[in-house]
């Protein structure tokens, strides 16, 4: 439940950021008011595209009923990779995002071509929505009816918190700055990405595609048992295991080695 709430919250805030920047510019510029229908049309189109992806994913899982574990594992790997890609993208574009959006919007206003706004917003909303769909499918593909109901409530709560967070961030850093928000949630996202990656590897172990090697490698349940409510939350958000197999530990370390390698490569590329 904590994973769902966090993902919906974070992704919704990112979508609200793009829409909020464009809407604020339109409110401050007289010529921008003509673009409002195109802005909200783009929001509706983006949501529709995300819903279509959700339908396609669940249809594909139905068609692959005999290979659902494999499909679920692939989706968890994809969700983990998307999280890393999203963090890298925000680090690269976060500082200039507002300037780039407002510059593009000014060009559209001067040429009275508002369809570009529709396309931009639709892509932004569909991107965040589709990432949310992939994340949630990776987590909920095998959930039962009651679990799905609980997760739906968590998703709605995450959406509500996203609007509240966006409002607080719009206060101009008096309570919480955008920079601090993105730095803190980057860490949480990467921990969640590691958790999803580990869950996918553990599915491969359970299907006997990968060996467990040594299982368990240790027992830290006396410190924090991942079968308790509190331990379960920590496990789902960070990948903590009280009884990890050696293969699980190697996979977890490999994930973080890959992440730090990508960050180092990106830093060297920017310095070049």
Question: 252 to each of 4, 66, 141, 148, 191, how far by Cα in Å?
Answer: 21, 28, 22, 27, 10
- What does the pLDDT read at residue 111? 66
Q: Which of 249, 189, 177 is nearest to 218 (CA)?
A: 249
**Spatial contact of 82 and 134, defined as CB atoms under 8 Å apart:** yes
Q: Rounded to an integer, what distance in angstroms lies between the CA atom of residue 54 and that of residue 16?
A: 20
Distance CA 184, CA 186 (A): 5
* pLDDT score of 138: 66
Q: Are 16 and 95 in contact (CB under 8 A)?
A: no
Work out how many domains the chain is built from and give that number.
1
So what's the pLDDT on residue 202? 93
Using DSSP's 3-state secondary structure scheme, residue 142 falls into coil
DSSP 8-state assignment for residue 33: G
- Regions of the chain with pLDDT less than 70: 1, 61, 64-66, 93-98, 108-112, 138-146, 148, 172-176, 272
Sign of the Cα torsion 185, 219, 77, 162 reads negative
Whole-number Å distance between alpha carbons of 238 and 189: 9
pLDDT of residue 204: 93
DSSP string, 177-230: -HHHHHHHHHHHHHHHHHHHHHHHHHHHHHTTSS--SSS-S---TTT--TTSHH
Any idea of the CA torsion for 217, 222, 223, 229, to the nearest 10 degrees?
100
The reported pLDDT for the residue numbered 8 is 85
Angle at CA 222, nearest 5°, toward 217 and 225?
A: 80
Residues in the chain: 272
pLDDT attached to residue 144: 60
Residue 243: predicted pLDDT: 92
Task: List C-alpha distances in Å: 111 to 13, 32, 79, 116, 120.
Answer: 30, 12, 39, 11, 16
- Using CA atoms, how far apart are residues 245 and 41, in angstroms rounded to an integer? 50
At residue 257, the pLDDT reads 96
Quote the domain boundaries for residue 232. 1-271
How much of the chain is in helix, strand and coil states, percent to nearest 5?
80, 0, 20
Number of Cβ within a 10 Å radius of residue 99: 10
pLDDT (tens digit per residue) in 9-62: 888 888 888 888 787 777 777 777 777 888 889 889 988 988 888 888 777 767
Distance CA(162)–CA(159), nearest Å, equals: 5
Helix (H, G, I), strand (E, B) or coil at 243: coil
């Amino acid at each position: 439940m904590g994973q769902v709430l966090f993902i919906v919250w974070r992704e919704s805030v990112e979508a609200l950021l793009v829409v909020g920047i464009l809407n604020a510019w339109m409110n401050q510029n007289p010529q921008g008011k003509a673009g409002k229908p195109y802005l909200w049309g783009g929001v509706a189109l983006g949501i529709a595209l995300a819903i279509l992806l959700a339908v396609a994913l669940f249809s594909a899982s139905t068609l692959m009923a005999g290979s659902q574990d494999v499909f679920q594992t692939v989706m968890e790997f994809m969700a983990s990779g998307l999280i890393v890609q999203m963090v890298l993208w925000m680090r690269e574009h976060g500082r200039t995002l507002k300037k780039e959006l407002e510059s593009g919007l000014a060009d559209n206003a001067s040429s009275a071509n508002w369809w570009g706004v529709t396309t931009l917003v639709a892509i932004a909303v569909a991107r965040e929505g589709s990432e949310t769909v992939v994340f949630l499918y990776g987590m909920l593909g095998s959930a039962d009816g009651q679990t799905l109901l609980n997760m739906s409530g968590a998703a709605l709560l995450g959406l509500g918190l996203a609007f509240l967070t966006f409002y607080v961030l719009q206060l101009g850093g008096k309570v919480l700055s955008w920079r601090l928000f993105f730095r803190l949630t980057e860490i949480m996202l990467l921990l969640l990405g590691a958790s999803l990656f580990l869950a996918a590897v553990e599915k491969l172990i359970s299907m006997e595609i990968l060996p467990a090697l040594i299982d368990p490698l240790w027992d830290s349940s006396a410190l924090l048992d991942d079968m308790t409510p509190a331990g379960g939350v920590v496990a789902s958000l960070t990948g903590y295991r009280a009884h990890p197999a050696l293969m699980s530990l190697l996979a977890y370390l490999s994930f973080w080695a890959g992440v730090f390698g990508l960050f180092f490569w990106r830093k060297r590329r920017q310095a070049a």
